[in-house]
């Protein structure tokens, strides 16, 4: 067993990290990898190592966080040997009374080129704890941080904590203090920085013992279902079962257990209808009865819940040498597993600021506002976009195209920032400020567009299976952006191409929705096929005022993208035929 002496109250650390969950543990490792001589103290409320049955939600990662965990923290071999490789996102839409084989499915047929992981949080945090001890991080366990006394005069901050064993209150000082206390939000609450979301969404979750495999809900006679994803690999996906107002997750854990959760928007499914385990099972029996019947055979290991889980912030970092990371700062909606993405960005920004500071380089202070703006705006965009989509989870074509848009936007706008650390480069940051504004203008309008579409669609289009990385347009975006080692010049050119692709995508969404809702208008619009992507709307009366027919970018041929996306769907009354209409553009 590793032991360390408790530091005296007059000891000054370079960094004090208040909290030892995923955010705090990964930050400690990153700091020591970047600057081994830093004196780092981490105060952890729990006894360490965690008990084998300790369960923390947040198991699913995506490419951004996987890059951070593998490359930045140098843990590629560790994850390959100790956690499951993730088989991408998977969605089953529609009636939960039907087996998954008869529900529209969005997912992958093979593993994606770039690895991400399903992580068992208890296992990972225990292992990081030992790694940090070996790296000479000073760790106090079984201790509760009672307060953080911030200094705004350049003098050290004071952290007051209490040890559980001795029940003694102690003080310790640090040049930097980082709040990683989770939902206690010590700094956010003290400075009243936290902001509530526009929509109330809530969740319950638990683990079952053993492998709860989505394929076990489907009889072996459904050969087409088993052919499109071989070797029962669906199990390793982050699987979503959903219908209007909710989604249910299934996530495999390397401890040989399975994580299950219910997430709803309370405007449709109030938290009181599922806020205990018995109520959650009753809720499943109504909304996902096929899963419910199968789940009854499993032993339940634990149960947790959270109401109104999302929140934002007005500030995460300060020139006065304090910072917040993980849930101590903000928390977006978990639908696309973005929590560890935010940790990756936050910790890397914090590490850059601290290492610059101890190296007597004050340039980090000029970046604090940009760091705050980037993360706060990304959280607002993601939370608003995701939570507004809960109301159209039951509409096949709207939901599927919304998902495809979201992953294209994420790969275009977020992934290259992490893969090439461009958010740390002052020159690149200044350039990207303008492109970010253009991106958000289009993205927020597309979000509003989907919410228009949901109220008007006759819901006549559906599909059987969409392998989203088989769509050439989407695959090109993925391949272009999930690469590291690029120069600033290359990144600038590729961001322009990304914006161009998203502008084309927005126009294709408009054409497909118009054919769905206002087919009588398509002949008129074909006369001017290149539109203002920031003005698309299904409100025909607003087109002139919104300047739909006044694009400020040169025209491009969207015929190929249109056919790629339109061919994914069929009309419900036509069992196997696609719905590509003749669609010829002429540019004058």
Q: What is the pLDDT of residues 433-456, one digit of tens each?
A: 777 888 889 999 999 999 999 999
The most distant pair of C-alpha atoms in the chain lies apart, rounded to whole Å, by 81
| 3-state SS assignment for residue 332 | coil
CB 216 within 8 A of CB 56: no
Of 289, 306, 323, the residue that ends a domain is 306
Share of the chain above pLDDT 70, in %: 94
Query: Which secondary structure element, helix H or strand E, spans residue 169, and what is its range?
Result: strand 169-179
- Do residues 331 and 277 both lie within one domain? no
CA dist 384 → 57, 79, 344, 484 (Å): 22, 32, 21, 29
Cα 45 versus chain centre, distance: 26
Structural domains of the chain, count: 3
Residue 553 falls within a domain, yes or no? yes
Residues forming a β-bridge with 313: 194
Identify the CATH number of the domain in which residue 362 sits: 3.50.50.60
C-alpha radius of gyration, the chain, whole number: 25
Q: Tell me, yes or no, whether 276 and 140 share the same domain.
A: no
Q: C-alpha dihedral over 133, 138, 318, 336, to 10 degrees?
A: 30
Mean pLDDT rounded to a whole number for the chain: 92
Domain that holds residue 256: 84-118+198-306
Q: Answer yes or no: do 302 and 265 share one domain.
A: yes
Q: Are both 471 and 520 inside the same structural domain?
A: yes
Average pLDDT value for residue range 555-575: 88
d(C-alpha 251, C-alpha 260), whole Å:
7
Q: Are 330 and 197 a contacting pair, CB within 8 Å?
A: no
Answer yes or no: do 189 and 216 share one domain: no
* Domain presence at residue 548: yes
Task: Compute the distance between CA of residue 219 and CA of residue 229 in angstroms, rounded to an integer.
Answer: 15
Of 306, 328, 360, the domain-final residue = 306
Out of 382-396, 424-438, 545-559, least confident range: 424-438
> What does DSSP assign to residue 348?
H
DSSP state letters, 277-316 = HHHHHHHHHHH-HHHHHHHTTSPB---EEESS--BEES-S
Q: What is the 3-state secondary structure (H, E, C) of 94-160?
A: CCCCCCHHHCCEEECCCCCCCCCEECCHHHHHHHHHHHHHHCCCEEECCEEEEEEECCCCCCCEEEE
**CA atoms of 365 and 369, how far apart (whole Å):** 8
Domain identity same for 441 and 544: yes
Sorted by sequence, the CB contacts under 8 Å of residue 334 that are 6+ apart come out as: 57, 58, 203, 263, 309
Domain edge (last residue) among 357, 388, 419: 388
- Per-residue confidence band for 586, with pLDDT thresholds at 50, 70 and 90: very low
pLDDT in tens, 282-339: 999 999 999 999 999 999 999 999 999 999 999 999 999 999 999 999 999 999 999 9
Q: Of 271, 274, 411, which Cα lies nearest the Cα of 336?
A: 411
The answer to whether residue 185 sits within a structural domain is yes
Report the C-alpha gap between 42 and 57 in whole angstroms: 21
User: What is 421-441 written as a DSSP string?
Assistant: TGGG-HHHHHHHHHHHHHHHH
- 144 and 188 housed in the same domain: yes
Whole-Å CA distances, 177 to 138, 294, 350: 14, 48, 10
For the stretch 147-156, contacts whose Cβ atoms lie closer than 8 Å and that sit 24 or more positions apart, written own/partner, are: 147/186, 147/190, 148/18, 148/177, 148/179, 148/186, 148/187, 148/190, 148/322, 150/177, 150/187, 150/190, 150/320, 150/322, 151/320, 152/320, 154/320, 156/12
Instruction: Look at residue 76 and tell me if it is in a domain.
Output: no
Answer whether residue 414 is part of any domain.
Answer: no
User: E strand or H helix at 163, and its extent?
Assistant: strand 157-163
* Whether residues 222 and 278 fall in one domain: yes
Same domain, 213 and 337: no
User: SS3 of 188, please?
Assistant: helix
Which tens digits make up the pLDDT trace of 366-383? 999 989 999 999 999 999
Q: Is 421 within a domain?
A: no
Beta bridge partners of 174: 13, 157
For residue range 467-521, list pLDDT tens digits in order. 999 999 999 999 999 999 988 888 889 999 999 999 999 999 999 999 999 998 8
**pLDDT tens string 205-234:** 999 999 999 999 999 999 999 999 988 999
Whether residue 356 sits in one domain with residue 446: no
Q: What is the mean pLDDT of residues 248-269?
A: 95
Residue 318 forms beta bridges with which residues? 322
Query: Is 314 in contact with 193 (CB distance < 8 Å)?
Result: yes
* Residues 17 and 132 occupy one common structural domain: yes
Which tokens is 133 given? 């001890």
Mean pLDDT computed over 149-166:
91
**CATH number of residue 284's parent domain:** 3.30.9.100
Q: What are phi and psi of 345, to 5 degrees?
A: -65, -45
Asked if residue 540 belongs to a domain, the reply is yes
Interaxial angle between packed helices 368-389 and 426-456, expressed in degrees from 0 to 180 and rounded to the nearest 10? 10
Cα 472 from Cα 196, distance rounded (Å): 39
Residues 333 and 297 in one domain: no
């Amino acid at each position: 067993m590793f032991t360390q002496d408790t530091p005296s109250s007059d000891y000054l650390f370079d960094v004090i990290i208040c909290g030892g969950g995923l955010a705090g543990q990964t930050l400690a490792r990153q700091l020591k990898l970047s600057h081994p001589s830093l004196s780092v103290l981490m105060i952890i409320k729990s006894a360490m190592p965690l008990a084998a049955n300790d369960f923390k939600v947040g198991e699913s990662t995506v490419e951004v966080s996987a890059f951070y965990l593998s490359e930045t923290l140098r843990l590629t071999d560790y994850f390959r040997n100790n956690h499951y490789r993730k088989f991408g996102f998977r969605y089953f839409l529609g009636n939960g009374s039907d087996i998954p084989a008869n529900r529209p499915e969005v997912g992958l047929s093979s593993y994606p080129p770039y690895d991400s992981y399903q992580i068992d949080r208890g296992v990972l945090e225990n292992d990081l704890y030992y790694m940090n001890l070996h790296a000479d991080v000073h760790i106090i366990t079984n201790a509760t941080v009672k307060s953080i006394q911030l200094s705004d005069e350049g003098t050290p901050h004071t952290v007051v904590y209490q040890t559980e064993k001795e029940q003694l209150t102690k003080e310790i000082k640090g040049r930097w203090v980082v709040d990683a206390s989770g939902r206690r939000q010590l700094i956010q609450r003290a400075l009243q920085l936290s902001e509530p979301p526009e929509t109330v969404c809530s969740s319950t979750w638990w683990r079952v013992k053993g492998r709860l495999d989505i394929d076990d809900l489907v009889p072996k006679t459904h050969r087409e279902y088993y052919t499109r994803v071989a070797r029962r690999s669906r199990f390793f996906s982050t699987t979503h079962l959903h219908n209007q107002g909710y989604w249910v997750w299934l996530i495999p854990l390397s401890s040989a257990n399975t994580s299950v959760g219910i997430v709803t928007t309370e405007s449709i499914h109030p938290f009181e209808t599922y806020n205990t385990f018995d109520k959650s099972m009753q809720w499943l029996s109504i909304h996902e009865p096929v899963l419910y019947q199968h789940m009854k055979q499993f032993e339940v290991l634990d149960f947790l819940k959270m109401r109104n889980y999302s929140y934002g912030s007005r500030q995460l970092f300060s020139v006065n040498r304090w910072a917040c990371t993980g849930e101590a700062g903000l928390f977006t909606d978990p639908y696309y597993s973005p929590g560890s993405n935010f940790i990756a960005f936050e910790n890397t920004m914090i590490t850059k600021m601290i290492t610059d500071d101890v190296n007597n380089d004050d340039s980090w202070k000029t970046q604090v506002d940009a760091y705050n703006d980037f993360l706060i705006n990304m959280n607002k965009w993601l939370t608003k976009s995701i939570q507004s989509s809960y109301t159209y989870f039951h509409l096949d074509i709207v939901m599927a195209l919304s998902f495809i848009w979201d992953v294209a936007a994420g790969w275009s706008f977020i992934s290259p920032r992490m893969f090439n650390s461009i958010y740390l480069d002052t020159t690149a940051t200044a350039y990207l400020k303008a492109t970010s504004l253009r991106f958000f203008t289009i993205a927020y309008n597309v979000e509003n567009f989907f919410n228009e579409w949901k109220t008007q669609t006759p819901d006549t289009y559906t599909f059987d299976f969409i392998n989203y990385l088989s769509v050439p347009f989407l695959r090109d975006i993925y391949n272009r952006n999930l690469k590291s080692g690029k120069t600033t010049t290359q990144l600038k050119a590729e961001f322009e191409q990304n914006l161009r692709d998203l502008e084309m995508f927005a126009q294709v969404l408009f054409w497909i929705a118009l054919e769905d809702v206002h087919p009588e208008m398509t002949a008129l619009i074909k006369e001017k096929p290149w539109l203002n992507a920031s003005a698309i709307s299904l409100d025909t009366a607003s087109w002139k005022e919104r300047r739909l027919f006044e694009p400020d970018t040169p025209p491009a041929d969207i015929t190929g993208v249109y056919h790629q996306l339109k061919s994914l769907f069929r009309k419900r009354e036509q069992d196997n035929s696609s719905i590509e209409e003749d669609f010829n553009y002429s540019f004058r």
